[in-house]
Amino acid sequence: MSRPLSLLLRFTAITLVGACVFALIASLLIPEMTNISGAGSYNEGAEIALPDLLQGSVITDMNGKPSGSLVGSENRVIIPLSQVSTQMQQAVLAVEDSDFYLHHGVSAKSVLRAVRANSAAGSVSQGGSTITQQLVKLSLVGNEQSMKRKVKEASLALQLEQQFCKDRPRRDCKDEILERYLNTVYLGRGAYGVEAAAQMYFGKSAAELDWGDAAVLTSLIRNPTGYDPIRFPEVATRRRHVVLGRIAEVGAITDQEAALLEETPLPSEIVKSSSSATAQDLTYFERKVRDELLRAEWLAPTEALRRERIFNGGLVITSTLDPRAQLLAEAASASNPIKKANPETVAAVAVVEPSSGAVRAVVGQTDLPGQGLVEIATPQVGRSPGSSFKAFTLLAALEAGYSIRDSILAAPAPQKLYKGWGIKDSSWPSGCKGGTVELAKATSSSNNCAFARLQAAVGGAKVVDVARRLGLNTLTDESADYPSLTLGGTTVRPLEMAAAYAAIANDGVYNPAHFVTKVTDQTGAVLFEYVPATEQAISVDVARQATVALQGVVTGGTYKGGSLPNRQPAAGKTGTNEAAGGENTDVWFVGFTPQISTAVWIGNPAGQTEMKGGRVQGGTVAGKVWHTFMAPYLQGKTVQQFATPGRIKTSRKVIPDPWTKTMSAAEKSGATSTTKTTIAGSSTSRPPGSSTPAATTAPTTAAPAPDPEPIPTPEPVPEPAP
């Protein structure tokens, strides 16, 4: 008779004696006895396959440090035995299986000891099942209260140990079983395994657990709900007393140490809760990582399979998060200078790395009374960008062959055009003094009349096309028909604006804003790694000329107070939306350096409401928040200069006035065919006719215009954060 089979028979006999001691009702016991022989069959050559453990995915920041999690049905973090403290290991062994390293899967000695201890205590204070048996119960046979299940459990435990220990040092295979058990066992409140439980109850890793922590977690093995230290502290205290007594009994600690440990407080609240697929307490970054992966077809062909892998597949997800930048962004958002006068306003801050599109930080949601979390960085409808949209009109003009040194008339539109546009103002656009103005100066001074004409000269369709190439997904074909498009007569999203301006800083190469850099599976195999784009969304020289013009906004334009420390060059554009009543509702500053692009929007997420407090404009309000983030963020970083564009035309040609020249409807919309021209070595296209730069020159008269745009936009609806 083999040793494992002998142990099984001996275990079965002792189990029956124990059952008698506990006075099992004979009428229930006798039917079970008829099944014992079948349940206890031992197949020495059988291979047991333990099921894969479900494990949530870990999110790390850009530096590889844990920053979040996506947990499904089981909150588990699988770790090797070497990352479980010695105190935790010894506590579990003392209470659950003190002979673990001596037996072969079942222990008659443990059963007899449990019978004596439980009889003396008058309750179940110790169990007779070995850790190997418990692992089999948790993984294979379940916890049905029957003799048949108990004997089958013992049989499988013997087979499992023989399988694990074949041709291996016994200590190694026993360690493997203990490791699997400590990663499997349920410890209450959705936590499976000692790592998840250690983080949840104590806010520390399993490697940091001391004797007091270990006693609490070991107490939970027998009854995770009934011994919950937070819900039932008195019961948990009594159970801990029993556990500490057993640990002292095996000599791991002294009686005096056990008494001192009983005086330590129990956990009174959850330190770190799990985050599930439907949890509402996900951080904004966790939710964005989740959403990005749910759309990732490289992960799995269907959303259902992707969801399973994300929440139960144990992925390691390297996010784009820069924790230092996130703290600075949150501090900048909280510095909202009009919050006191306008308590309903919030500041969205979106930070994107130009070279990759990585979202390094974002303040993207707020909590509205009665509505819960509301999305503000990527709202479904978007918000009016005000003059910050002028950058895309400038880019379209440069692509059409114009130069930032070319000029355009800066006077209100002829009144005969108002009727067709549906505009009732007697002088539109507002704040214009006439004369001509260079495109560079029109950009820095945010000249409304110059840019409204420029849009008409280039064609609204060309402006929309550029904006779409740079990731502005809220624009429609109809947007091209609005004469106020360039003044903010559309809606955009802060995160997309940050990425669009980042493409200008990146010499015209656009990378979509994204939150995931790399994904590996449980084996460490790389499933995905983001590769930055290389295709030009706009030409290099167009991007560089636009940067020169946008630098003027910071050095002497509508945000001349935006200069950064250490003479770090910066470029950007202010934006202000004016409501029908004359007050401003949305203020922006989107700006960048060679290293980083940041968009700031301030407004009421519940709708367009007029903001009080004096001169509420992009440069005076949103620009300050931008500077509050950018100055400390760049502190200590190497100062980088913008690349120099090719030779910019010095002749100041006047762009024909599209409002005083006869134009076809196709030319006005920009839907004409194009001809090629070359600007500083870069191939661009320009529409013929009225959109072609004229050969005449004229003196330039600067015609600065106030930043607010008097064109109201549709009121957005706040979007709940999913």
- Work out the average pLDDT over 630-641: 95
Using the structure block, give the residue that is written with the tokens 């409304």. 448
Is residue 338 within 8 Å of residue 332, measured between CB atoms? no
Cis peptide before 429 (omega within 30 of 0): yes
Residue 259 has a pLDDT of 96
pLDDT higher than 70, residue 192? yes
- For 624, the token pair is 């300050």
Helix (H) or strand (E) holding 350: strand 346-352
pLDDT > 70 fraction of the chain, expressed in percent and rounded: 80
pLDDT greater at residue 214 or residue 126: 214
Residue 89 has a pLDDT of 98
Most confidently modeled range among 25-29, 134-138, 288-292: 288-292
Using the structure block, give the residue that is written with the tokens 């029956």. 16
Residue 682 has a pLDDT of 30
Q: Where residue 142 falls among pLDDT bands split at 50, 70, 90?
A: confident
pLDDT in tens, 457-499: 999 999 999 999 999 999 999 999 999 999 999 999 999 999 9
- Work out the average pLDDT over 124-145: 80
Is residue 599 within 8 Å of residue 497, measured between CB atoms? yes
- Work out the average pLDDT over 607-627: 89
- Work out the average pLDDT over 426-439: 86
pLDDT higher than 60, residue 151? yes
Q: Where residue 4 falls among pLDDT bands split at 50, 70, 90?
A: low
Residue 2 has a pLDDT of 61
pLDDT higher than 60, residue 577? yes
Q: Which CATH architecture has domain 377-512+535-610+651-709?
A: 3-Layer(aba) Sandwich (3.40)
> Residues, the chain, total?
722
pLDDT greater at residue 397 or residue 275: 397
3-52+76-261: CATH number? 1.10.3810.10
Residue 412 to residue 406: CA distance in whole angstroms:
19
Cβ atoms within 10 Å of 62's Cβ, excluding its own = 19
pLDDT higher than 90, residue 233? yes
Residue 437 to residue 452: CA distance in whole angstroms:
13
- Work out the average pLDDT over 569-580: 90
- Work out the average pLDDT over 669-681: 32
- Work out the average pLDDT over 80-92: 97
Residue 336 has a pLDDT of 96
> 149-178 burial, b for 16+ CB within 10 Å, e for fewer?
bbbbbbbbbbbbbbebbeeeeeeebbbebb
Is residue 75 within 8 Å of residue 274, measured between CB atoms? yes
pLDDT in tens, 236-269: 999 999 999 999 999 999 999 999 999 999 999 9
Q: Could you give the C-alpha distances from 713 to 487, 586, 609, 663, in angstroms and in order? A: 11, 10, 12, 27
Is residue 92 within 8 Å of residue 221, measured between CB atoms? yes
Q: Could you give the C-alpha distances from 43 to 53, 106, 139, 156, 285, in angstroms and in order? A: 25, 16, 19, 9, 51
Query: Tell me, what DSSP letter sits at residue 80?
Result: -
pLDDT in tens, 490-507: 999 999 999 999 999 999
Residue 48 has a pLDDT of 86
- Work out the average pLDDT over 610-638: 92
pLDDT in tens, 388-420: 999 999 999 999 999 999 999 999 998 888 777
Residue 390 has a pLDDT of 98
Q: Could you give the C-alpha distances from 389 to 101, 448, 461, 498, 543, in angstroms and in order? A: 71, 11, 14, 12, 15
Q: Where residue 134 falls among pLDDT bands split at 50, 70, 90?
A: very high
- For 42, the token pair is 């031992």
pLDDT greater at residue 611 or residue 544: 544
Residue 54 to residue 191: CA distance in whole angstroms:
12
pLDDT higher than 60, residue 700? no
- Work out the average pLDDT over 662-679: 37
Residue 206 has a pLDDT of 97
pLDDT higher than 60, residue 16? no
Residue 721 has a pLDDT of 53
pLDDT higher than 90, residue 111? no
pLDDT higher than 70, residue 639? yes
Residue 65 to residue 67: CA distance in whole angstroms:
6
- For 431, the token pair is 């704040």
Mean pLDDT, the chain, whole residue set: 84
pLDDT higher than 80, residue 382? yes
Q: Do domains 3-52+76-261 and 377-512+535-610+651-709 have the same CATH topology?
A: no
pLDDT in tens, 115-133: 565 555 555 445 568 999 9
pLDDT greater at residue 277 or residue 99: 99
Residue 709 has a pLDDT of 37
Domain boundaries, the chain: 3-52+76-261, 377-512+535-610+651-709
Q: Pick the range with the lowest mean pLDDT from 207-216, 618-627, 644-653, 702-711.
A: 702-711
